[in-house]
Structure 1
Amino acid sequence: MRRSILECCIDDHRNDVAILSAWLANKTPETVRCWFGSHANYSIVAVSSGVVSGVAIMTRQGKIVLCYVSPEARFGGTGKALLQALECRAKEWGVLQLQVNSTLTAKGFYAHNGFVEGAVARTAFGTDGILFSKRLAASYPQKAPCRCSLAQTD
């Protein structure tokens, strides 16, 4: 994750020490372990030849809070596979729409994968981000109502 930010997101951080410090501050093993251990999130790791090649986390509300691919795995389908796994889980949860605050670097990636570009939004790290969303479904089939109250007792 840290290498992806440092090496792939130069258009975003422009090698600005203050931006990089803010962006990388919470990307510690302890913090990431907590994120991955949270039941409020769906977390996924991509592994290629025994090496981590990407990570992604989504909240139960369908907000993609991170999606990073190692520099070596970039443009090789890892990001798309992570995104498809997030979409699959979101559909299982009944989420109607995904949202992500994309970096400038990942703008084309999200657009290419069916996300619709929205407004520009400042990130907590001091960079410009782009809000993207993707409609997964207009609605999901409703479950049949419980008919418990209609049951007769003997």
Structure 2
Amino acid sequence: MSLEIRIATSADAVDACTVLRRSIVECCAPDHRHDPAILEAWLGNKTPQMVACWFTSPNNFALVAVDAGVVVGVALLTRAGKLALCYLLPEAQRRGAGTALVEQLETQAKLWGIKALQLHSTTSGQAFFVKQGYTEAGNVRSPYGVETIFCWKALDPSCLVAGDPQVDPKRKRFCNCNGA
């Protein structure tokens, strides 16, 4: 794999949209269970026009993973500290692209002064995010009808206090230290 991670541009929107849609349909089947209503809701905003808007928003930082000239992954961080997207083509999984995307988003979050990241993981992505150091903090139903796992990760050691799962795994508590 000749992997390149770079900032996404609106010119990447069509290819990134393909990554999102294929990843959801093919890799997240255990989550949507091929339910047409769930798929329609989940894929509804995954259009090239919407993806281009996400990429150009000053409130977002978006990356693409490119292998041999092909976009194989897409990830997006919001200024609010949410890792909103992290999707790979099925054939790009378990080859380092996801880890590289998350690491670069975390670096950007630190540059923005974000102390902790949060995300809603599918069960399909759960093991990946745990491996990246994210702590599970309960289940949340998505607007499109999929049960997700709320996860977070402290980027600043001041977020780690007694009772936090990264210090005390028996107690689950979300660090909300990004607030003003």
- Deviation readout 1:68-127 (Å, 9 max, x if unpaired): 011110111110000001000001111100000001100000000100001100001100
Q: Secondary structure at the match of 1:105?
A: helix
**Aligned-pair Cα RMSD in Å:** 1.1
TM-score by length of 1: 0.89
Structure 1 runs of 4+ with >4 Å offset: none
Q: Does 1:137 align with 2:123?
A: no
Alignment map for 1:50-89 (pairs within 5 Å): 50-89=69-108
Structure 2: segments with no counterpart, 5+ residues: 1-19, 159-180
TM-score by length of 2: 0.76
**Which residue in 2 is equivalent to 1:125?**
144
| Counterpart pick for 1:23 among 37, 42, 48 | 42
CA distance in 2, matches of 1:28, 1:123: 19
Q: Secondary structure at the match of 1:117?
A: strand
**Which residue in 2 is equivalent to 1:150?**
none
CA distance in 2, matches of 1:101, 1:4: 16
Q: Does 1:42 align with 2:61?
A: yes
Aligned residues: 140
Alpha-carbon shift at residue 138 of structure 1 (Å) = 3.0
CA distance in 2, matches of 1:27, 1:45: 15
What percentage of aligned pairs have identical amino acids? 50
